[in-house]
Structure 1
Amino acid sequence: MSDNRSHLEEQYTWDLSTIFPTDQAWEEAYADLTKDVEAAADFAGHLLESSQRLLEITTIYMDLSRRLETLYVYAHMKNDQDTTVAYYQELEAKANGLYSKYGQVFSFYEPEFMTLSQDRYETFLQETPELAAYAHYFERLFKQKEHVLSQAEEELLAGASEIFGGASETFGVLDNADIQFPVIKDEEGNDVEITHGNYIRLLESKDREVRKNAYEALYSVYEQFQHTYAKTLQTNVKVQNFKAKVRRFSSAREASLAANFIPESVYDTLLEAVNAHLPLLHRYVKLRQKALGLTDLKMYDLATPLSSDEQQITYEEALAKSEEVLAIFGQDYSDRVKRAFNERWIDVHVNKGKRSGAYSGGSYDTNAFMLLNWQDNLDNLYTLVHETGHSLHSTFTRENQPYVYGDYSLFLAEIASTTNENILTETLLKEATNDKERFAILNNYLDGFRGTVFRQTQFAEFEHAIHLADQNGEVLTSDYLNKLYAELNEKYYGLKKEDNHYIQYEWARIPHFYYNYYVYQYATGFAAASYLAEKIVHGTQEDKDKYLDYLKAGNSDYSLNVIAKAGVDMTTVDYLNAAFKVFEARLNELEELVEKGVHL
């Protein structure tokens, strides 16, 4: 096996032995679960024989899912910590295969359940009161009734799940394994091969020539392979549109949002609100141009920090700061933060073969582990606070809900993490001792808002447009995608497409376009988090208590109801307007600091 991690100190690695003590234990659990999943095939045709049978089969259905999640999480995280180890690639593939098998075996469940009449269901509840534990789960199923197919059709779809994922997997292999980016010179004149891992760092360079060369080198590769990327994206869009049509939805968007019972108006409201506030983004772009002293700002100038105050923050300092900032939520929250930081929930440092980026993971029966690729800077402090928000949301949910409700919807997933970020910003602004510090924090916040609310909404607008285009018979050639993306980019940033030739290929490198209407939730989540952070920092104890109740709710209610209990009505435009108000206030302040020459 690889020794890419042998140099790491144990305290900075996650402790996956809390899931399975050894790989052998995983193999044994896999073999047992495979047998149990196969045996469950005998339940087909018997779900509604009696109320007791419904309870028994539902309980086994949930139990097998629970065990499968734990198996998958171990294999997935072992693979992520070093993707060069073939053994863990194999474990993850086996876990994925078992998921597919599980889906096929239980493809009978929803079609059979949907034949249950409301009257008979009420009788079942009276006969077997334990079924009440699944009441909200059953209610959600009933609401999806018209979109569930016959058992034979469901089996076909479940059996084709790996084929449906082919375009996305091909994109992943091409983008992460096969394509090679050119070598450029860094600030010190050293040869550096561009990778997904170092591209953003090169784009943040103070040396404009380095930024330009990195940007053009990266996109020249996407230009070269644009037709292949267009084909994988087009195929993925066709898959989503096909599945939506088969399930009797009017569009892929309706199908995706229906999974969380989100009305399409929430998506449209986001697009309208962001488009109405694009003048704020144009102001920020102009401010960047002024602060950088440029006569012609280009897309490759948007990532470099405006501040010369580059704070070095060690991992230990970040842990201490995070604990201090998150203490605002009270003792219960703080106790769990300490556990996460002290009980090896976090894989901290970069190593060869490690998956890039950061995430919070785990399953119902494990710790809410975090993967980082730590660098000593302000951005990484924000990443730590962000992922801790996810992990605490997961922990509170799992502690307070049974397995059936022990997760939360994707729609709510980004809110807890980003609320933490917003509270960190408020704290750092309060503590700033001089204009340079304030400038750095404001710059970080505005860049985060730009990247999350404006950029992800731009992605959401593009994603919806290409699904509608395919639905209307348009062929998603690279020419079509390039033109659409270039026009959208010009609208958002106010920078002429003719002056930014390479940005038209950006769509080709965005993995989120394979996540089926996922990206809009980053923007709605950030805006809701901005709204909540204001209430938590400046509001009452009741506001904090309501927020903690939201963290504990999981899937015990519909997403919009869960977040409404925390005090945010996400069916209106108000929470979005409130977020733009904060953005504008901080933009005003940064403009004043630029006028004073603080950045120089």
Structure 2
Amino acid sequence: MTSVPKRSETAAEHHWKLEDLFGDQASWDREYALAKEQIKQAAAYEGKLADPAQLKACFELEDELSLHVERLYVYANMRHHEDTAEPTYQALSDKTKKLSVETGEALSYVTPEVLSLSDEQLDALINNSDLALYKKTLEEMRRQKAHVLSKAEEALLAQVGSVTQAPNTIYSMLSNADLKFPKVKNEQGEEIELTQGRYIQFLESKNRDVRANAFKAMYDTYGKLRNTMAATLNANVTKNVFYSRARKYPSALEMSLFGDNIPKEVYTNLIDTIHKHLPLMYRYMELRKKLLGVDELHMYDLFAPLVDEFKMDITYDQAKTTVKESLKPLGDAYLNVLQEGFDQGWIDVYENEGKRSGAYSWGAYGTHPYVLLNHKDNLNSMFTLTHEMGHALHSYYSDSSQNYRDAQYTIFLAEVASTLNEALLMDHMLNKSTDPKEKMYLLTYYADQFRTTVFRQTMFAEFEKIVHERTEAGESLTPQDLSKIYYDLNVLYYGKGMVVDKDIEVEWARIPHFYTSFYVYKYATGFSAATSFAKQILDEGAPAVERYLGFLKSGGSDYSINILKRAGVDMSSPEPIEQAMAVFEQLIEQMEQLTK
């Protein structure tokens, strides 16, 4: 079938069972009405939260309300994602967004009121046995207290909020709406307009001229706006420094790490350990140069295919079988839950007209998780399946083992379970493969994940650290300064075997993540933690599996670093990154063997 089928034309066995969340529209409506009633009850506790019994009742109401809103919101949006053109569920989705805002407003007094209590009162509440279930919540509030200002100052900062969103908004408009790129010739010699979406496709071309021209066109376009882009990025950095000083943090970096209670060493260790292992990156670049058969390796060669496209046709059923086989090291208990997910309507499998693109794992506490796919019969889709089921099983184990308040894990932990599944699938496929061409294809696929997720994201993280420290020291950040910092980092990370083209110096201008500051390091730490877990599971077996399942069951019951540490991965030390680098080195060695 060449055209995309309508939802009604796809098999029900490949649809998720949202009835497990709400049996029908009437039950959704009843829960919505109940939530609306409970919102009215929220005001009853205002001004009374110093009393443990009143505080407990308030927290209980908060939990009930929050769960109702979560269930309503998740259901409405997942129905909407089945067919985004269908207006009924678009309206339901909008309705729950408003409900969510109403709930937030009705309970907005809780944190400020608790924080207005004296340290002695707060300590008494934290140690009150009747509030044991909320001990972590109260401890977290106390931890935040040092950075919460007076009522008048908080009101002022809230008003500044809409102004400080400006850098991100302006950047987004510039980069996505106003920037117009020239036309570039594709492999067939046709003039095609360059876009953000098509850029990587051009860089993946076998034709080197196509790659070089697209690369030059992209950075020439950004280069023309370098002054505006620098002013916008500068404004964002200044905003972060303003907030960190207003809220009495030692630095903008430490402010961003505070939310997840991540020690600064996690960030600096990542950069230092990657620096130590940069010779591995240089070695990979030499190998890339040899495989491409070029005298000089340029920045536009980084995405060029190293092996002829190795076509792997993998049906959904084959993908499920292979994923399950690859996850055998995690033990029968894990595999049984995985099978339940495959069989019991957790997954919406194929594309249909109007369906949301991409893939995700989502759900509401108290019901099994759900996974949205747009499955194609290829290797990428099989990796997507195991990735999303990693998230789903993390949620399943967290929800089954923790109360509602402690079940939600942080973004810092979120990518660990999904990436671990990918690592085990890759290990399984490499061990099973007998075809040198297939093996090389898989090794390249995996090595490039290390390059893009660990090395490149760490380079971004280092750039953010440098530009914020310069601003904090009162130094300037002209377009020339930003370009020099960025260019020098590329030279450091890719090494002398690589021709670091001058055009790359303005790449900082096209990285949207720089407007969600100090976020990208989580990609590198998550990937490293997952690789470390995979290595321990494959080397040690049962004891490592037991620790890993303990990690999945922990949800958000403790700080992320502690949860990982208990499971055998200490991200405040260089060890997990060292273990990831050992795996990367093995990949390079296998690739070198195959090219002899």
Change (3 A) 1:40 1:465: farther
User: Retained in 1: the 8 A contact 2:83–2:356?
Assistant: yes
Q: Residue 523 of structure 1: CA displacement?
A: 1.0
Residue 401 of structure 2 is matched in structure 1 by 400
SS in 2 for 1:370: strand
Deviations 1:264-322 (A, max 9, x none): 01111111111111111111111101100011222221123312334333333222211
2:69 counterpart letter in structure 1: L
1:46 counterpart letter in structure 2: K
SS in 2 for 1:424: helix
Distance between the aligned counterparts of 2:245 and 2:442, measured in 1? 47
Distance between the aligned counterparts of 2:423 and 2:483, measured in 1? 35
Distance between the aligned counterparts of 2:86 and 2:194, measured in 1? 23
Distance between the aligned counterparts of 1:373 and 1:530, measured in 2? 26
Residue 511 of structure 1 is matched in structure 2 by 512
Distance between the aligned counterparts of 2:125 and 2:492, measured in 1? 56
Residue 137 of structure 2 is matched in structure 1 by 137
Deviations 1:464-510 (A, max 9, x none): 22333333445655444333322222221136998524323333333
Distance between the aligned counterparts of 1:115 and 1:530, measured in 2? 44
**2:251 counterpart of 1:257:** no
SS in 2 for 1:364: coil
User: Retained in 2: the 8 A contact 1:185–1:191?
Assistant: yes
Distance between the aligned counterparts of 2:494 and 2:188, measured in 1? 31
Change (3 A) 1:358 1:500: farther
Residue 240 of structure 1 is matched in structure 2 by 240
Distance between the aligned counterparts of 2:356 and 2:231, measured in 1? 26
2:113 counterpart letter in structure 1: E
Change (3 A) 1:555 1:173: same
Q: Residue 32 of structure 1: CA displacement?
A: 6.2
Give the % identical residues. 41
Deviations 1:211-255 (A, max 9, x none): 334434444444455555445544443443333222211222111
SS in 1 for 2:297: coil
User: Retained in 1: the 8 A contact 2:32–2:68?
Assistant: no
Residue 537 of structure 1 is matched in structure 2 by 538
1:401 counterpart letter in structure 2: Q
Residue 47 of structure 2 is matched in structure 1 by 45
Distance between the aligned counterparts of 2:71 and 2:549, measured in 1? 26
Q: Residue 72 of structure 1: CA displacement?
A: 4.2
Distance between the aligned counterparts of 2:242 and 2:28, measured in 1? 37
**2:295 counterpart of 1:295:** yes
User: Retained in 2: the 8 A contact 1:486–1:497?
Assistant: no
Change (3 A) 1:450 1:389: same
Residue 434 of structure 2 is matched in structure 1 by 433
Deviations 1:8-33 (A, max 9, x none): 55555555565556789878866764
Change (3 A) 1:486 1:364: farther
Residue 598 of structure 1 is matched in structure 2 by none
1:245 counterpart letter in structure 2: R
Residue 387 of structure 2 is matched in structure 1 by 386
Q: How does 1:172-183 map to 2 (within 5 A)?
A: 172=172, 175=175, 181-183=181-183
**2:557 counterpart of 1:551:** no
User: Retained in 2: the 8 A contact 1:560–1:570?
Assistant: yes
Distance between the aligned counterparts of 1:220 and 1:445, measured in 2? 31
User: Retained in 2: the 8 A contact 1:108–1:154?
Assistant: no
- Gapped runs of 5+ residues in structure 2? none
Residue 457 of structure 1 is matched in structure 2 by 458
Distance between the aligned counterparts of 2:173 and 2:98, measured in 1? 18
SS in 2 for 1:503: helix
Change (3 A) 1:30 1:518: farther
Q: Residue 365 of structure 1: CA displacement?
A: 4.5
Change (3 A) 1:239 1:354: farther
Change (3 A) 1:122 1:426: same
- Tell which deviates more after alignment, 240-249 or 115-124: 115-124
Residue 271 of structure 2 is matched in structure 1 by 271
Q: What TM-score, normalized to structure 2?
A: 0.87
Distance between the aligned counterparts of 1:34 and 1:238, measured in 2? 41
Change (3 A) 1:376 1:563: same
Distance between the aligned counterparts of 1:511 and 1:97, measured in 2? 28
Deviations 1:49-108 (A, max 9, x none): x11011011222233333333444456556666777888777666655655555454443
Q: How does 1:56-205 map to 2 (within 5 A)?
A: 56-74=57-75, 77=78, 99=100, 102-116=103-117, 120=121, 124=125, 129-154=129-154, 157=157, 164-169=164-169, 171-172=171-172, 175=175, 181-188=181-188, 193-205=193-205
Q: Residue 561 of structure 1: CA displacement?
A: 1.6
Q: Residue 549 of structure 1: CA displacement?
A: 0.8
Change (3 A) 1:218 1:44: farther
Residue 571 of structure 2 is matched in structure 1 by 570
Change (3 A) 1:367 1:213: farther
- Tell which deviates more after alignment, 151-160 or 107-116: 151-160
1:559 counterpart letter in structure 2: S
- Gapped runs of 5+ residues in structure 1? 596-600
User: Retained in 2: the 8 A contact 1:281–1:450?
Assistant: yes
User: Retained in 2: the 8 A contact 1:107–1:151?
Assistant: no
User: Retained in 2: the 8 A contact 1:111–1:149?
Assistant: no
Q: Residue 514 of structure 1: CA displacement?
A: 2.9
Residue 54 of structure 1 is matched in structure 2 by 55
Distance between the aligned counterparts of 2:55 and 2:543, measured in 1? 40
Change (3 A) 1:232 1:407: farther
Q: Residue 535 of structure 1: CA displacement?
A: 1.3
Distance between the aligned counterparts of 2:356 and 2:175, measured in 1? 13
Change (3 A) 1:174 1:7: farther
Distance between the aligned counterparts of 2:579 and 2:498, measured in 1? 31
Change (3 A) 1:328 1:91: same
Q: What TM-score, normalized to structure 1?
A: 0.86
Change (3 A) 1:236 1:403: farther
Residue 589 of structure 1 is matched in structure 2 by 590
Distance between the aligned counterparts of 1:499 and 1:280, measured in 2? 17
Distance between the aligned counterparts of 2:329 and 2:125, measured in 1? 46
1:299 counterpart letter in structure 2: M
Q: Residue 331 of structure 1: CA displacement?
A: 2.7
Distance between the aligned counterparts of 1:87 and 1:180, measured in 2? 36
Superposed CA RMSD: 3.6
SS in 1 for 2:558: coil
Residue 444 of structure 1 is matched in structure 2 by 445
SS in 1 for 2:109: helix
- Tell which deviates more after alignment, 515-524 or 546-555: 515-524
**2:350 counterpart of 1:323:** no
Residue 212 of structure 2 is matched in structure 1 by 212
SS in 2 for 1:144: helix
User: Retained in 1: the 8 A contact 2:182–2:193?
Assistant: yes
User: Retained in 2: the 8 A contact 1:197–1:356?
Assistant: no
Change (3 A) 1:97 1:554: same
Change (3 A) 1:532 1:174: same
Q: How does 1:20-35 map to 2 (within 5 A)?
A: 33=35
Change (3 A) 1:38 1:208: farther
1:261 counterpart letter in structure 2: N
1:208 counterpart letter in structure 2: R
User: Retained in 1: the 8 A contact 2:202–2:211?
Assistant: yes
Distance between the aligned counterparts of 2:329 and 2:444, measured in 1? 24
Distance between the aligned counterparts of 1:206 and 1:382, measured in 2? 24
